[in-house]
């Protein structure tokens, strides 16, 4: 039985590595936590491909800090990167590997710290849902953009998905490498193989 983990290494992803100031290669595969669907991603960390990343999110600031404090040591022992949603200071305090910006935060520009104070290896990713938000993510200094929703997703029931053709077009035109997010499963992952996707991200899909 093929799972996201086994398929991740078999499919041919975009091979053109972006030019960055990072000290290590950008992850291609991501696990997102979710307040309701995956409040604790720890049980899934061992399922992730090597050198993947986990993005930690929570609407409550205190809960987010607890999640970061609890998850980061395990993830690092497994050679996984850790990104914190929308909180640069929290990411730096717990020596995480990067920060993930929401579409709204990316619209505001680069993370609200002096760029000179940011370590050179800090990964910045950003959310995007259309061509304009892709441009904003680029101007915000993102190294990768999570473009969603590619397929129908439980995160936004009833929301219109991009579909594979629209996703492929946006990914091709983007100035920043694009990661596919939204409804990714082992059943539809192969449909990304003809796009210029850098990789993919999922929540429930890693349960496959």
- Tell whether the model's pLDDT for residue 166 goes beyond 60: yes
Mean pLDDT throughout 163-187? 94
Q: Is residue 22 part of a domain?
A: no
Q: Is residue 172 part of a domain?
A: yes
Mean pLDDT throughout 2-7? 83
Which pLDDT tens digit goes with each residue over 60-82?
999 999 999 999 999 999 999 99
Q: Is residue 78 part of a domain?
A: yes
pLDDT at 116: 57
> How many structural domains is the chain composed of?
1
Q: Is residue 92 part of a domain?
A: yes
Mean pLDDT throughout 104-131? 80
Q: Is residue 19 part of a domain?
A: no
pLDDT at 86: 93
pLDDT at 6: 87
Average pLDDT, the chain: 89
| Parent domain of 158 | 4-9+27-207
- Tell whether the model's pLDDT for residue 113 goes beyond 60: no
DSSP secondary structure letters along the chain? ---HHHHHHHS-----PPP-S-SSPPPSEEEE-BTTTBS--GGGGGGSPTT-EEEE--SSHHHHHHHHHHHHHHHHHTT-EEEEET-HHHHHHTT-SEEEE-HHHHHT-S-SS-GGGS-TT-EEEEEESSHHHHHHHHHTT-SEEEE--SS--TTSTTPPP-HHHHHHHHHHH-SS-EEEESS--TTTGGGGTTS---EEEESGGGG-
Q: Is residue 106 part of a domain?
A: yes
- Tell whether the model's pLDDT for residue 1 goes beyond 50: no
Which pLDDT tens digit goes with each residue over 7-60?
887 777 776 677 777 767 899 999 999 999 999 999 999 999 988 999 999 999
pLDDT at 107: 86
Residue of 93 and 116 predicted with greater confidence: 93
Mean pLDDT throughout 114-143? 87
pLDDT at 23: 64
**Are 179 and 125 spatial neighbours (Cβ–Cβ below 8 Å)?**
yes
Q: Is residue 151 part of a domain?
A: yes
pLDDT at 160: 87
Q: What is the CATH number of the domain that holds 85?
A: 3.20.20.70
């Amino acid at each position: 039985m093929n799972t996201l983990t086994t398929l991740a290494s078999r499919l041919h992803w975009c091979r053109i590595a972006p030019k960055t100031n990072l000290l290590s290669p950008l992850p291609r595969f991501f696990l997102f936590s979710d307040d309701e669907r995956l409040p604790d991603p720890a049980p899934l960390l061992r399922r992730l491909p090597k050198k993947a990343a986990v993005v930690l999110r929570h609407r409550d600031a205190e809960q987010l800090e607890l999640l970061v404090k609890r998850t980061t040591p395990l993830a690092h022992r497994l050679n996984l990167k850790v990104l914190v949603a929308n909180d640069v200071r929290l990411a730096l305090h717990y020596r995480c590997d990067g920060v993930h910006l929401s579409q709204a935060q990316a619209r505001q520009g680069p993370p609200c710290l002096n760029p000179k104070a940011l370590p050179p290896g800090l990964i910045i990713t950003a959310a995007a849902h259309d061509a304009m938000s892709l441009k904003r993510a680029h101007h915000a200094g993102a190294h990768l953009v999570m473009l969603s929703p590619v397929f129908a997703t439980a995160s936004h029931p009833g929301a219109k998905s991009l579909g594979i053709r629209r996703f492929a077009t946006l990914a091709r035109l983007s100035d920043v490498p694009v990661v596919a997010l939204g409804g990714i499963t082992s059943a539809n992952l192969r449909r990304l193989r003809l796009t210029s996707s850098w990789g993919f991200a999922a929540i429930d899909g890693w349960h496959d």
